[in-house]
Amino acid sequence: MEIAPASDFTAPLTVLYHDADLVAVYKPAGWLVHRSAIARHEKRFVLQRLRDQIGQHVWPVHRLDQGTCGLLVFALHKESCQQLAQAFATQQVQKTYLALARGWLLDTTHVDYPLRPEDSAPDAPPQDAQTTLHGLATLDWPESYDPRHPSTRASLVLARPHTGRRHQIRRHLKHVAHPILGDATHGKGPLNRWWAERLGGQRLWLHAHALELAHPRTGEPLALCADWRQLAHVPEVQQWQQMLRLPGWNDLENLPPSCGVI
């Protein structure tokens, strides 16, 4: 499989939703949400690009890791920022991610495993963290990575974090022995490289797919989605769909319609 090229730095961001109070965009993999003192060499920032693209100031209300692609929301004024930030901080937003993980994760697993902040002192107390993991489909790749097994397994996992700890989904999948493929921090380097050769390139296979929240002004339910059927032009979506067209997949009919393979 030859992986689709990375997102073009010069291309406009794809806007998924826009009203007077908030805007949702598709964040390409490899982009930072905003400038950071610890990443001075980086040049791709969603906040600055979006501000220039729509011609007004935007406020970040949540974060995605640099390697994660998908749905990202910004507020368009201070009142909306306060409402949205509070909703994320108090777990009033339902978040849905998709991940390609090692091995077969079958059925549904609720992970209740406290996490210590990664940049904290070794004796810092861990924080409550809960994630629901649901195995959507399984891949039985006909080559062997481990000589003890005739083939190599992977899973498409739907993850719903109920708390907002840093790297929570990545750390919880590692905790249940199903690390995300391409995760250089919490996965296995040799296995990541082995899969990268077969998937056409190195990347973190984690996608922020959907959010459900109350609208910050009206309070009405708002469902936002990085619907793959509407994002055929996005390189990362092309990569996901190329991966799902590989031989050896089972149960792809379990995917939600928004993951329809083009």
Give how far the C-alpha of residue 24 lies from the chain's centroid of Cα atoms, to the nearest Å. 15
Question: Two tokens at 197?
Answer: 């050769």
Question: Two tokens at 17?
Answer: 């939703």
Question: Two tokens at 89?
Answer: 């901080």
DSSP 45: B
Residue type at 168 in one-letter notation: Q
Q: How far apart are CA 160 and CA 101, in angstroms?
A: 15
Backbone angles phi, psi at 100, to 5 degrees: -100, 115
Q: Is residue 65 flagged as an active site residue?
A: yes
Q: How far apart are CA 205 and CA 171, in angstroms?
A: 14
**Which residue among the candidates 21, 65, 119, 140 is catalytic per the annotation?**
65
Sign of the C-alpha dihedral, residues 188, 154, 131, 160?
positive
Catalytic residue ranges: 65
